[in-house]
Structure 1
Amino acid sequence: MCGRYATTRSNADLSQFFEAADVTGELSPSWNVAPTNPVPLIRESATHAARVLDSARWGLVPPWAADLRQGSRMINARAETVAASRAFAPSFARRRCLVPADGWYEWVRAGKQKQAYYMTSADGSPLAFAGIWSAWGPESVLTCGVITTAALGGLARVHERMPLILPPDRWAGWLAGGGDPEPLLRPMSVAELDAIEVRPVGPAVGNVRNNGPELLSPPAEVTLF
């Protein structure tokens, strides 16, 4: 799964990188994004007739849900079932987005302790998680979820699941809506996988109240895998 991640770039940087008009207002950087937090996303907008940088609450809430609390259980959608799920299929068909991230966290148990790891682009470039969005309630609150897939290569030693990461040449097709689910949900290639670096980080990231660049610092001692 993907239950914590970092997204720290400015609106201006994200707008430029994704070639999207900024309609968010200012979003604060976060080194410890948790479910229900506001996050940036990239989506197509009929109103603006363009790709836009928007913000949404992390945890997709279908239009038929009774309240927003349901989103805390729907932060991820599995690639294997997203196209058929009652909760996720309508958004997958018509409301897909990119979720910008610097990297994501997972934990590996080592004896009685858990070691946190941070997966990020080796060259420091932003990652684009495949996502879906929905609007809930009379105020059309935007909510979103991250698509996950089976972890590949060495990443499977950290966790069995990982975000579905899309390279730039797949962004337009993903955002367009419609299309054959199989190629849209294709996992990373070997070359793309090699570009992901796994870094051990300290235990402070386990507390959602902690938030700052120090969370990415390596611990004094670590047992690798």
Structure 2
Amino acid sequence: MCGRYALTLPHEAMVQVFAAAPSNDLPEGPRFNVCPTTQVPVVTAAEGERRLRPMRWGFLPHWYKSPTDGPLLINARAETVAEKPAFRTAIRERRCLIPATGFYEWTKADGQRLPWYFHPREGEALAFAGLWQDWGPEDLPTCAIVTCTAGSTMAEIHHREPVTLDPADWALWLGEAGHGAATRMRAAPEGRLTRYRVSTKVNSNRVEGPDLIDPLIDEDDR
């Protein structure tokens, strides 16, 4: 799964990396502890133009009466996304890219949740495979991150991982370059991601700051 991530790219950098026209109401950054239900920058494509726009991280199916009417859908499983009523139209018609610079996952030891930070080995930006939908009378844009069975780098920590798309596949995922997006819902290639332990301060969704992604050196500093 993916339940927390970091996004340290300035708006100007995201505009250049994703070749997208920015909305004027993007959430402020950098952000080292992006949590569900918050507004996040998302790249969509329509009529030959990419847009960088804010969305609520937490997909809301059209039948929800309120944002808390059902389960919080922050992730969509690649194996079943085309079949689930909540996602099956969106995966065909409303795919998006969700920019990130890294993400967190947890192991457990002695009853404590121990966070790990995953990021690209070469330091480039990540693009999570996402899907989106407008919800409610005000057409609130909402999104979810597609996840898949974990690859070798991730599997020792967790059995799922977010689908991270290579730049060469962005146009395909956004629907700009024909068919075959489903074949890109797979784990990151061997060696693309690296990981290290970070402080348990990130366990709180109220904490922010660049020290959250610092490698943990002193195991007692939790």
User: Deviations along 1:42-82, whole A, 9 cap, x unmatched?
Assistant: 01134xx4011111000001222211225761000000000
8 Å Cα contact 2:153-2:194 kept in structure 1: no
Whichever residue aligns with residue 193 of structure 2, its letter is: I
Please name the residue that 1:133 is paired with: 132
The answer to whether the 8 Å contact 2:76/2:87 transfers is: yes
Q: Distance in 2 between matches of 1:26 and 1:112?
A: 38
Larger mean Cα displacement after TM superposition, 23-32 or 178-187: 178-187
What do the CA deviations read for 1:71-109 (whole angstroms, capped 9, x no partner)?
A: 761000000000111001111010000000011101111
- 1:72-221 aligned at under 5 Å gives the runs 73-176=72-175, 179-180=179-180, 182-190=182-190, 194-221=191-218
3-state SS of 1:176 partner: coil
Letter of the 1:40 counterpart: P
Question: 8 Å contact 1:78–1:147 — kept in the other structure?
Answer: yes
Residue pair 2:165, 2:184 contacting (<8 A) in 1 also: no
Residues 41 and 52 in structure 2, CA contact (< 8 A), matched pair in contact too: yes
SS across alignment from 2:183: helix
CA contact (8 A) 1:60 1:71 kept: no
Measured in 2, the distance between the counterparts of 1:181 and 1:195 equals 20
Distance across 2 between alignment mates of 1:51 and 1:206: 34
> What code does the residue aligned with 2:95 have?
R
Aligned equivalents of 1:8, 1:38: Cα separation in 2: 15
Residues 120-147 of structure 1: per-residue CA shift (max 9 Å, x gap) = 0122211000000000112111000000
Normalising by structure 2, we get a TM-score of 0.92
Report percent identity of matched pairs.
Answer: 38
Provide the rounded CA distance (Å) in 2 between the counterparts of 1:182 and 1:148: 12
Letter in 1 for 2:179: G
Equivalenced residue count is: 218
Q: Distance in 2 between matches of 1:44 and 1:140?
A: 17
Trace 1:52-67 onto structure 2 (pairs within 5 A). 52-67=51-66
Structure 1 residues 142-196: Cα deviation after superposition (integer angstroms, max 9, x where no partner): 0000000011103101111100010011110110078346414243333xxx021
Residue identity in the other structure for 2:44: R
In 1, the alpha carbon distance for the partners of 2:20 and 2:215 equals 34
Give the Cα–Cα distance (whole angstroms) in 2 for the partners of residues 26 and 87 of structure 1.
26
Aligned residue type for 1:162: E
Corresponding position of 1:10:
10
Alpha-carbon separation, structure 1, partners of 2:117 and 2:134:
31
Tell me the CA shift for residue 219 of structure 1.
2.5
Once the two structures are overlaid, the 10-residue window that deviates more, 133-142 or 177-186, is 177-186
Quote how far apart the aligned CAs of 1:112 are.
3.0
Residue-by-residue CA offset, 1:23-54 (whole Å, 9 max, x unaligned): 242421211111101001101134xx401111
Amino acid at match of 1:13: A
The change in CA–CA distance for 1:171 and 1:104 in structure 2 (over 3 A counts) is same
Stretch of structure 1 that moved more, 201-210 or 59-68: 59-68
**TM-score normalised according to structure 1 size:** 0.90
